[in-house]
Amino acid sequence: MVGVIKGVLKEELHNSLRMKKEYEQALKNLPQGCLAVRKIRGHKYYYLVKRIDKKVKYIYKGKISEEEKKKYSEAKELRVKYRKLLSQVKKQIRFLRSSLRGKEAI
Amino acid sequence: MEKKQYELCLEILRRFHKANILNDFVLIGSWCIFFYKDYFSSVSYINHATLKTRDMDFLISMPDKIKQTIDIPNLLKDLGFVTAFRGTYGYIKLDHPDLIVEFLVPAKGKGTDKPYSVPKLGINAEALRFLDFLSENTIKVKVEDFYLNLPHPANFALQKLIVSRRRSKEDKAIKDRNIALAILKALITKRETNNVRQVFRSMPGKWQTKVIRGLEDAKEKEILSILKK
C-alpha cells in the first residue's frame, strides 16, 4: 500500500510541476497592463497602465472598442485567478516533495 | 482541499449538463469510484478504492455522434483551467491544481498513438483499448438535478483487472488490482454475484483468461470460484 501511495504522490508531483510551467506561461501570454479611464468633458479616454522596467507608464489609447475593453478586463480577472492558482500549485509542490522525502510512514 | 476539489468537479458536471453534452460522456477513472458511493450505500465501502487522484477522465463512446458544438477549453477557462498538450502527439489535458480533465475514446482496430480529434468539442482524445467494454453497460447516478453516466461496477472492475496486467509500473498495477477486487467484493456483498458472472461471460475468451490470471495472482479464491461456476 505504501508503494501505491508513493506512486500516486510521484505522479501528482510530476503533474504539479507541469502545471507550474503552464500557469507561468499562461500569465506571460496575457496582454500586459490594465486599462485606466479618464473622463474629460463628458468623453471617456483610455490609457494602458503598465510597468516598463521600474517605472509605471500611462500609454494613451484614446477611445477604444468594447471588444478591446472586454479583452483587458478578462485578462485582469484571469491574471488574478492564475496567480492564485500558481501559488496553490507551488504549495502543492512543496508538500509533495516533503512527503516523498520522508521515510516509509506516509 | 477535498471539499474544493469536489465543488470543482460538480461545477464541471453542471456546466457539461447545461451545455447538453454530459449525456455523451461516461465518467471513468478514480472519480467514477467516488460516485459509486450511492450505488454501494447498502454495503460498507472500501478504503483503498476511494484513493482518488486529480484525474477526471471522460469517456466519449460515440465521438462522431455528438450533436452540440461546444468549445470545452473555453467553457472551463474562467474556472482557471489551462490547456496543456501532453506527449509527442499533443493529447489535450485541461489542468487545474485541483483537477485534471482528460478525454478518452475506445481504440478501434489495431489502435493508434495519435489523438482522436473531436472538433465539435474543441478537444482531442486519447484512444485506449478495452474502453468499449465500459460504455456497453452503464448505470446512471443522480447528482443534484441531473444524471451522470458511469460504467456498471462489474464492467469497471473486470476492465481494471485486465488493464492491471498491462501496466508497466508495478504500483499502478497494484492500485488497479486493489480497486478491482474491492469493487468485486462490494458487488458480491450486495448480492450481485449473478450480474458479475454474466458480465464476465459476455467478455471475449482472451479477456476472460486475463481476468482469471489477475485473480489467480491476487489469490482471490472466492471470486474465482464465483466466475468459474
pLDDT (0 to 100) of residue A106: 44
In a domain, A77, yes or no: yes
CB B51 within 8 A of CB B176: no
Contacts of B203 (CB under 8 A, 6+ apart): B133, B158, B211
CA distance A35 to chain B (A): 20
In chain A, which residues have pLDDT < 70?
1-2, 102-106
Residue type, B171: D
Q: Is residue A9 part of a domain?
A: yes
Q: What distance in Å separates the CA atoms of residue B182 and residue B134, rounded to the nearest whole number?
A: 18
* Rg (alpha carbons) of chain A, rounded to whole number: 21
Q: Residue A30: inside a domain, yes or no?
A: yes
Ranges of residues in chain B with a pLDDT under 50 are none
Query: What pLDDT is stored for residue A101 in this prediction?
Result: 85
- Among B1, B2, B25, B140, which residue's Cα sits nearest to residue B12? B25
Residue B74 sits at the chain A interface (C-beta within 8 Å) = no
Query: Taking CB atoms and an 8 Å limit, are A26 and B97 in contact across chains?
Result: no
Identify the CA nearest to A19 among candidates A80, A88, A89, A100. Answer: A89
A39 in any annotated domain = yes
Q: What is the pTM of this model?
A: 0.88
Q: Which of A4, A26, A92 sits opposite B97 (nearest CB)?
A: A92
Rounded-to-integer distance, Cα A43 and Cα A63, Å: 9
Integer CA distances (angstroms), A31 to A28, A34, B76, B82, in order: 8, 8, 20, 16
The verdict on residue A24 lying in a domain is: yes
Examine residue A86 and state whether it is found in any structural domain, yes or no.
yes
| Domain hosting residue A60, numbered range | 2-101
Distance CA B205, CA B210 (A): 9
Contacts of A79 in chain B (CB under 8 A): none
**Rounded distance, CA B22 to CA B111, Å?**
26
Q: Does residue B138 contact residue B132 with C-beta atoms inside 8 Å?
A: no
Question: How many independent structural domains does chain A possess?
Answer: 1
pLDDT of A85:
97
User: Given this model, what pLDDT does residue A5 score?
Assistant: 82
A78 CB neighbours in chain B (<8 A) are: 77-78
Which residue of chain B comes nearest to A87, CA vs CA? B97
| Residue B72, SS3 per DSSP | helix
Provide the 3-class DSSP secondary structure of residue B45: coil
Residue B174 sits at the chain A interface (C-beta within 8 Å) = yes
- Residues A4, B178: C-beta atoms closer than 8 Å: yes
User: Would you say residue A106 lies in a domain?
Assistant: no
Instruction: Retrieve residue A87's grid coordinates.
Output: 501559488
Q: Which strand (E) or helix (H) includes residue A106?
A: none
Residue B224 to chain A, least CA–CA distance (Å): 23
What pLDDT is stored for residue B175 in this prediction? 86
